[in-house]
Structure 1
């Protein structure tokens, strides 16, 4: 459990912005992953919207930001990038996969990941240099590593319909999905904390799966148990700090994503009863 957490912790600290070129690093299986940068457009606030298009062979999958116990989140190194002060990924709604009794969360075949870039100087090109590491799986799982070195000049105003569609496919905010009263109960366990969340939310369709995240990257969160009674949804999970022992839980930093067959809902914050 600790080793898996440490790997995930390193991976979730950053995301990828690859170039319009695909190449797997020496020692990995070739031609399984292809990446293309969709240059996107500049926004009025000075940020830049780009799209990372990941293409896999039929039936292969890669993972969401919180990939589940059986998944591997993406890892990025941005060594050498210039004119870039921040980036924020805008994750499209993922799918839930079951394999060998374990569940993972991610994307099959291909996905466009929109990313919002904040340049230090909006009037200068953004230089992106580094490498992307992802896990890709079918009957087996293999690592894929892609080096990138790209320049994104400023001045583009034309919206890319593919990126726009991916942005529209993000989970719906709780307030827009009919989210009602929500409360979180926290209790101490032998390994850390137990979290129980109860909230009013219309069904998202079919068998629902909830993913719980915290604002602290050093806190490991177990796969959640999800139960519904009418419009009331109950989500329970366990949390543990990587170094063991107790830790403070920021309720405002709790994020619960409910994935159903009809839609996904993004719930941020979980107050006390």
Structure 2
């Protein structure tokens, strides 16, 4: 209960930082530059591209699950042309201690690979939309970055995109995961999820991040510890708007961040 209250207070603190009057004087465009990298067509006929965010010195931005002190990025590609399917590959993020609160994200630069399947292979793809981001240092500055770029089908292999793809977390097989179970128990206002993951150490002090698989469910900062060959991760899952809570174990995503590598685990079984 205490950990959940601490996490909720941390979330309130992050929102408060985002609302500081100083933001009227600081624009996100002054702190981060956004551009699109071209990687040409793959053998599957998809476009390989990437969104690159270059940050000012000392500033950082956030992962898809940013922790209690972070601001998650939001993407809107609704104005794009000939966009069929879009798949993002997130490079392994860093864990930061932000005023005693844990946040997860990137510093200096983020290259976010995006693979795009055109709706009509015979026509070009215009990637057009906006990205809502939070940029933090001593304060957090939320803002919107505009994207408008026609993808280059003739572009060659891009080393920056290849490097970002190589920084993705390991799959369960690559990370040596042999099982992942989740036990649910009721807590005030929601459910407590205890995951037990049989896997070798990812190196150093491991941090597990639990994503509940629904934007309507809030997950507290995970408590992570080792028990021999297994990693235990505990998080409280709370419905954002109150009311009943349904947990789909197959939709749960657990990312283990270690010193040597990260491991991406999709779903867990009862246990």
TM-score class normalised by the smaller sequence: 0.7 to 0.9
Take 2:183 and 2:28, find their aligned partners in 1: how far apart are those partners? 46
Matches within 5 A, 1:143-162: 143-156=142-155, 158-162=156-160
Structure with greater proportional strand content: 2
Give the match for residue 87 of structure 2.
88
In the alignment, structure 2 segments of 5+ residues that lack a partner are 1-7, 16-23
Is 1:250 aligned to 2:251, yes or no? no
Query: 1:250-269 residue pairs with structure 2 within 5 A?
Result: 250-269=248-267
Aligned CA distance change for structure 1 residues 52 and 30 (closer, same or farther; 3 Å): closer
Q: Is the 8 A contact 2:171 2:264 kept in 1?
A: yes
1:226 matched to 2:232? The reply is no
Partners in 1 of 2:255 and 2:266 — Cα distance? 9
Q: 2:141 maps to what in 1?
A: 142
CA RMSD of aligned residues (A): 2.2
Q: CA deviation at 1:46?
A: 2.4
CA distance in 1, matches of 2:83, 2:128: 11
Pick aligned residue for 1:197 from 195, 198, 201: 195
Q: How many residues align?
A: 254
TM-score (norm 2): 0.87
Structure 2 counterpart of 1:11: none
8 A Cα contact 1:122 1:154, kept in partner: no
Which of 235, 253, 266 in structure 2 is aligned with 1:237? Answer: 235
State whether residues 28 and 144 of structure 2, in contact with CA within 8 Å, keep that contact through their aligned partners in structure 1. no
**What TM-score comes out, normalization by structure 1 length?**
0.87
Change in 2 beyond 3 A, CA 1:180/1:152: same
Distance in 1 between residues matched to 2:141 and 2:226, nearest whole Å: 36
1:188-207 Cα shifts (integer Å, max 9, x gaps):
22211110011211111111
Aligned to 2:3: none
- Aligned pairs for 1:92-131 within 5 A: 92-131=91-130
Structure with the bigger percentage of helix = 2
Q: Structure 2: how far apart are the matches of 1:63 and 1:111?
A: 9
Whether the aligned pair in 2 keeps the contact of 1:65 and 1:74 (CA below 8 Å) is yes
The Cα of 1:30 is off from its aligned counterpart by 4.5
Note closer, same or farther for the CA distance 1:27–1:95 as it changes in structure 2 (3 Å cut): closer
